[in-house]
Structure 1
Amino acid sequence: MKTRLILLAAGNSRRFGSNKLLYSIDEKPMFMYGLEVMKELILKDFDRELYVVTRFEPVMEAVEEMKSDPYLHDRTHIVNSPESTLGISYSIKAGLLEGEIQPDYYVFMVADQPFIKVETVERLIKETLNQEKIAGCVTWEGVPGNPVIFSKHLKYELLELQEDQGGKVVLKKYMNQICKITASCEEELIDKDTKDEFDMDGR
Structure 2
Amino acid sequence: MLKISAIVMAAGMSRRMQQDKLHLKLNNRPIYEYILHTLNKYSFHEVLVVAKDEDILKKAERFGFKGINNPHYLRGKSESIKAALKNSQKTDGYMFFVADQPFIKLKTIKKLCAKFHDNPSCIVLPYYNRVPGNPVIFPYSLKEELLQLENDQGGKVVINNNRNKIIGVHILTNSEYLDI
- The residue aligned with 2:87 is 98
- Residue by residue, what CA displacement relative to the aligned partner does 1:119-169 show, whole Å, maximum 9, x if unpaired? 101111111221334211111111111100011110011111111111011
SS of the aligned residue for 1:41 comes to coil
1:126 aligns with 2:127: no
Counterpart-to-counterpart distance in 2, 1:191 and 1:126: 24
State the percentage of identical aligned residues.
Answer: 36
- The residue aligned with 2:37 is 36
1:82 aligns with 2:79: no
- The residue aligned with 2:170 is 182
Counterpart-to-counterpart distance in 1, 2:74 and 2:121: 32
Counterpart-to-counterpart distance in 2, 1:171 and 1:39: 27
Counterpart-to-counterpart distance in 2, 1:37 and 1:163: 29
- Report the AA paired with residue 18 of structure 2: G
- Residue by residue, what CA displacement relative to the aligned partner does 1:45-80 show, whole Å, maximum 9, x if unpaired? 5xx11111111122122122212xxxxxxxx21111
| TM-score of the superposed pair, with normalisation by structure 1 | 0.84
Query: Greater shift after overlay, 153-162 or 121-130?
Result: 121-130
- Report the AA paired with residue 126 of structure 2: V
SS of the aligned residue for 2:169 comes to strand
SS of the aligned residue for 2:135 comes to strand
Counterpart selection for 2:63 from 52, 63, 66: 66
CA contact (8 A) 1:183 1:189 kept: no
**What is the Cα deviation at residue 7 of structure 1?**
0.6
After superposition, residues 152-163 of structure 1 pair within 5 angstroms as: 152-163=140-151
**What is the Cα deviation at residue 86 of structure 1?**
1.5
SS of the aligned residue for 2:102 comes to coil
Counterpart-to-counterpart distance in 2, 1:6 and 1:30: 16
- For structure 1, the residue ranges without an aligned partner over 5 or more in a row are 68-75, 193-203
Q: Which runs of 4+ in 1 moved over 3 A?
A: none
- The residue aligned with 2:123 is 135
- The residue aligned with 2:19 is 18
- For structure 2, the residue ranges without an aligned partner over 5 or more in a row are none
What number of residue pairs does the alignment pair up? 179
CA contact (8 A) 2:121 2:141 kept: no
**Alpha-carbon RMSD:** 1.3
Counterpart-to-counterpart distance in 2, 1:167 and 1:108: 9
- Report the AA paired with residue 151 of structure 1: P
- Report the AA paired with residue 106 of structure 2: V
CA contact (8 A) 1:120 1:184 kept: no
- Report the AA paired with residue 97 of structure 1: K
- The residue aligned with 1:3 is 4
